Amino acid sequence: MIDEVVFVKEPPKNCSIVLGVYADGSLSPSAQKIDKNLDGIISKNLNKLNFIGKTFKTSSFLDSGDSYNHIILMGLGDPHKEFSKFELKKLGAAIYAVTRKLDSAVTVAIDAADLHFPCNCASSFMGFGALLKSWVFDKYKTSKDEEAKLKNLAMLTLDVKISEDYYGELRKIADGIFLTRQVVSEPANVIYPESLAEIAKMELLPLGVEVEILDESQMKNLGMNALLAVAQGSEHKPRLAILRWTGASNSESPIAVVGKGVTFDSGGISLKPGEKMHEMRYDMAGSGTVLGLLKAIALNKLRVNVVGVMALVENMPSGSAQRPGDVVKSMSGQTIEVLNTDAEGRMVLADALWYTQDRFNPEILIDLATLTGAIVVALGHEFAGLFSNYDQLADQLSKSAAVTGEKVWRMPMSEHFDKGIDSAIADVQNIAKSHIHGGSITAAQFLKRFINGKKWAHLDIAGVETSSEDLFICSEGATGFGVHLLYDFLRENYTTVP
C-alpha cells in the first residue's frame, strides 16, 4: 500500500516517471517539457510504439537512458477534455495499477493544465485515487503479495500548497474508507455485534466522537422487539452503537445516518441456500459505512452535527430463533408478522430508525443497508438504489454521487406496494404477497412505515458494497461505498462556515 503521496514542482532524481499522451498522439504540455530536456527521446519512441493515448490505456515501460528509471505513458483521451474529480480519482488509480510493481520512486508528471482542470488540486484527487487503489486486505495471508512494491508517489503540481491542502482532507476521507473496507472484509467469526461495537469505540473515542453502546436489556426496555427478534437465534448478543459527532453548535439538530449491521445473515429459520451464504458476512456493510463516515468526519473536524447508528445483530437459526409466522411488536408500536426470517434487515432498521428519530429528532435521516438481492437484479453492481420521501434530499445525494463516483439511481416509491405488505393478522408483514414483484421497492415501502414525518433517504447498497472484480478505485472485495458520497453530501449541504 502507498505510504505517502508528496507534491513537487520538479521530478526528483532516480525516479520512474508517468507522462500523459492524448488520443491524437500528442504529448501533454508537461510531457513535452520533459521530452525537450531529453532531446526528444520520448516523441521518437512514441512514433515507434504507435501508442495512441486512449483514456487510461498505458504503454509498456520505456527506457530513457540515465535520466529516469522508466517512463510510462498514460492515455488521457481527447486533448480538450476537462477531467472531473471522479475521473482524476480513476486516473490516479489507473496509474497505481501500472506502477505498483516498481521499486523505484514514481513521479506523475501530469498536472491540472494537462487535464484542463480548473484547480491546481488535480494532483490531489489523482493521489487520492492511487491511495484508494493501493489498499489491500491481506492480514490473513501468511505470504504477502511481494509485487506491490510502490510505497511513495510524487505528483507534479503547479501549486504545492494547494495540492497538499486538498490532499490532506482526502487522505483523511481515505482513512474512513479504509476502516469501512476493513470491517466489511473481516469474517463473521471476528466481526460480530459486540466486537464491532468495540471497534467503533476504539476507533472513534480518541477522535472526539461520543460512543454509546446499548445492550440487549436496554433495547428490551426501549421495546425494540423487531430488532431483538432477529437477534434471538444467535449466541452473539445484539448491540446498538450510537456515534455522536458535534461539529456545529449544540442547538443544531443533527443529520442521522443509520446502518444495517447484520454481522452474518444465514437467513435464520428461512435458511439461505449454501452456495453463496458466506457472502452474508458483508451484511453489516451499512453499519461499516456509518463507522467509516464518522471517522472521516471526525478526522476532518467537519462543522456539522452527525449521529451515526449501527444496528448490530447476527441472524442465525437455532432453538431460540424466531419462526416464520411469529408476530412482534416494534418500538413504534406497530406489529410485524414475520413471514420470512431472511427479510431481517428491514426489521432491524424498523426499530433503529424509529429509535433514532425518537431520541435525536434529526433534520435528515439517511439509512444504508444491504437490504435486497432484488436491487442487484435491477441496478447491477454500478448503482446503489436511492429511495426518498423528499426530492431535494434525493437531488443532493445524486449530485454528491456524481462527484464522488459512488453512483446512485433514484427508485420509485408508491403506495401501491403497501397493499402487498398489509398483514392479515398484524399491522404489516415483512415480505410481500407472492404476486407482488419489485422486492427493493417493497422493502423501502416497509421502512417508510417506520419513518415518523422526517425527511428520509434509504440507500440499498447490496450490489455495491463489495465487488467480485478489480474495479477502478479498488481491488476485488470491500469497496467502502458510501463514505465519500455521504461525506461530500454533508460537506456541501450542511456544514456551517465558522
Catalytic residue numbers?
272, 346
Among 216, 265, 314, 367, binds Zn ion (CB under 5 A): 265
Q: Give the Cα separation of 113 and 419 in Å (integer).
A: 57
Q: Does 370 bind ligand BES (CB under 6 A)?
A: yes
Among 67, 335, 340, 389, binds ligand BES (CB under 6 A): 340
Which partner from the list Zn ion, ligand BES, Mn ion, none does 214 bind, CB cut-off 5 to 8 Å by kind?
Answer: none
Q: Does 186 bind Zn ion (CB under 5 A)?
A: no
Q: Give the Cα separation of 128 and 293 in Å (integer).
A: 16
Mark the segment that binds Mn ion (CB under 5 A) among 300-308, 340-348, 391-399, 486-494: 340-348
Cell 456493510: give the residue. 285
Q: Does 314 bind Zn ion (CB under 5 A)?
A: no
Q: Give the Cα separation of 473 and 450 in Å (integer).
A: 35
Q: Does 314 bind ligand BES (CB under 6 A)?
A: no
Q: Give the Cα separation of 313 and 297 in Å (integer).
A: 25
Q: Does 345 bind ligand BES (CB under 6 A)?
A: yes
Measured from the CB atom, the residue of 202 and 271 that comes closer to ligand BES is 271
Measured from the CB atom, the residue of 342 and 351 that comes closer to ligand BES is 342
Tell me which DSSP letter residue 254 carries: P
Among 342, 367, 406, 465, binds Mn ion (CB under 5 A): 342
Cell 416497509: give the residue. 446
Nearest approach, Cβ of 344 to Zn ion (angstroms)? Answer: 6
Nearest approach, Cβ of 270 to Mn ion (angstroms)? Answer: 8
The pattern of x and - marking residues 237 through 276 that bind ligand BES according to CB under 6 A reads ----------------------------x-----------
Q: Does 460 bind Zn ion (CB under 5 A)?
A: no
Tell me which DSSP letter residue 62 carries: B
Cell 516498481: give the residue. 102
> Footprint of Mn ion on residues 260-279 (CB under 5 A)?
265
Q: Does 324 bind ligand BES (CB under 6 A)?
A: no
Q: Does 76 bind ligand BES (CB under 6 A)?
A: no
Q: Does 482 bind ligand BES (CB under 6 A)?
A: no
Cell 508517489: give the residue. 153
What is residue 139's three-state secondary structure?
A: coil
The answer to whether the beta carbons of residues 166 and 15 sit under 8 Å apart is no
- The candidate with the shortest Cα–Cα distance to 28, out of 98, 62, 77, is 77
Q: Does 283 bind Zn ion (CB under 5 A)?
A: yes
- Going through 331-454 in order, the beta strands assigned E by DSSP cover 335-337, 364-369, 384-388, 408-410, 428-429
- With both helix axes pointing from N to C terminus, report the angle between 193-204 and 160-185 in degrees, rounded to the nearest 10: 160
Among 132, 462, 464, 486, binds ligand BES (CB under 6 A): 462
Q: Does 342 bind ligand BES (CB under 6 A)?
A: yes
Residue 458's H or E segment, with its range, is: strand 455-460
Phi–psi pair at 416, nearest 5 degrees: -50, -40
Among 164, 169, 203, 283, binds ligand BES (CB under 6 A): 283
- The candidate with the shortest Cα–Cα distance to 178, out of 370, 2, 384, 385, is 2
Cell 467502502: give the residue. 480
Q: Does 35 bind Mn ion (CB under 5 A)?
A: no
Contacting positions for Zn ion (CB under 5 A): 262, 265, 283, 345
Contacting positions for Mn ion (CB under 5 A): 265, 342, 344
Contacting positions for ligand BES (CB under 6 A): 265, 283, 340, 342-345, 370-374, 376, 431, 439, 462
